[in-house]
């Protein structure tokens, strides 16, 4: 038996010729998965994957948490299978396995500079995020676009309530991460106006 830290949960799902355990952190979102798949020779293949773009610094942070858990669980699984498992971990130098491109459509909006018309900010709408980890999931999935645009970027959860006074959890993820905060639309728009106004002054 293996006791997970309280902030980490997992779900089991079927995959071709086996099943996978998907692990999730309450604040960092999805961490990775362990796959068990039966091979034609009768052996069971165990593969551990860390989710995220290898170039994303948050991938390494997820890996630091997931790797010890993965190693301990993989060792126990191998013992439970009588040592007949083949343990694989084909990873790039960063230790991450880049996941397939998500087919999920993520709503986002580019805010242009009013003076030059170039992108000044990026808003990512985390429509289905239910916690802080959910915001991190959206940031992870949008990482290539965030780096390509290289403008101040926020991930925005649905507002809690209705009307102009309904605040939403907002996470700034680029160029420098900031702690999550709760802002009303008016409060966030004031912050955004300062960013767009200073775009051509940099």
20 pLDDT higher than 90: yes
44 pLDDT higher than 80: yes
Give the whole-angstrom CA distance, residue 160 versus residue 166. Answer: 6
Q: What is the DSSP letter of 136?
A: H
Query: What pLDDT sits at residue 134?
Result: 96
**Long-range CB contacts for residues 158-163, cutoff 8 Å, separation at least 24:** 158/126, 158/127, 158/129, 159/185
For 27-157, where are the E strands, in sequence order?
29-38, 44-50, 85-88, 108-112, 119-125, 153-156
Q: Which two tokens stand for residue 45?
A: 């293949």
92 pLDDT higher than 90: no
Query: What pLDDT sits at residue 184?
Result: 96
Confidence tier at 95 by pLDDT (50, 70, 90): very low
Q: Which two tokens stand for residue 52?
A: 């995220």
Query: What pLDDT sits at residue 103?
Result: 43
* Average of per-residue pLDDT across 26-33: 96
Query: What pLDDT sits at residue 104?
Result: 61
Q: Tell me: the pLDDT tens digits for 51-75?
A: 999 999 999 999 999 999 999 888 8
Query: What pLDDT sits at residue 50?
Result: 94
Confidence tier at 86 by pLDDT (50, 70, 90): low
| Domain coordinates in residue numbering, the chain | 8-88, 108-201
Query: What pLDDT sits at residue 41?
Result: 80
Query: What pLDDT sits at residue 192?
Result: 94
Q: Tell me: the pLDDT tens digits for 160-201?
A: 888 888 999 999 999 999 999 999 999 999 999 998 888 886
Q: Which two tokens stand for residue 191?
A: 């912050």
């Amino acid at each position: 038996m293996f006791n997970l830290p309280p902030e980490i949960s997992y779900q089991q799902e079927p995959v071709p010729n086996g099943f996978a355990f998907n692990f999730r952190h309450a604040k960092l979102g999805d961490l990775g998965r362990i796959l068990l798949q039966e091979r034609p020779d009768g052996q069971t293949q165990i593969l551990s994957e860390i989710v995220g773009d290898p170039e994303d610094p948050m991938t390494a942070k997820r890996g630091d948490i997931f790797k010890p858990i993965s190693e301990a669980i993989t060792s126990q699984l191998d013992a439970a299978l009588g040592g007949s498992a083949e343990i694989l971990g084909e990873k790039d130098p960063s230790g991450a396995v880049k996941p397939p491109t998500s087919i999920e459509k993520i709503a986002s909006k580019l805010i242009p500079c009013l003076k030059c018309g170039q992108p000044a900010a990026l808003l990512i709408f985390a429509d289905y995020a239910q916690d802080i980890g959910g915001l991190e999931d959206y940031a992870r999935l949008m990482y290539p676009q965030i780096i390509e645009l290289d403008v101040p970027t926020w991930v925005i959860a649905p507002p809690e309530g209705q009307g102009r006074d309904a605040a939403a959890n907002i996470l700034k993820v680029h160029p420098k991460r900031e702690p999550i905060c709760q802002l009303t639309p008016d409060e966030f728009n004031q912050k955004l106006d300062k960013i767009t106004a200073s775009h051509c002054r940099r």
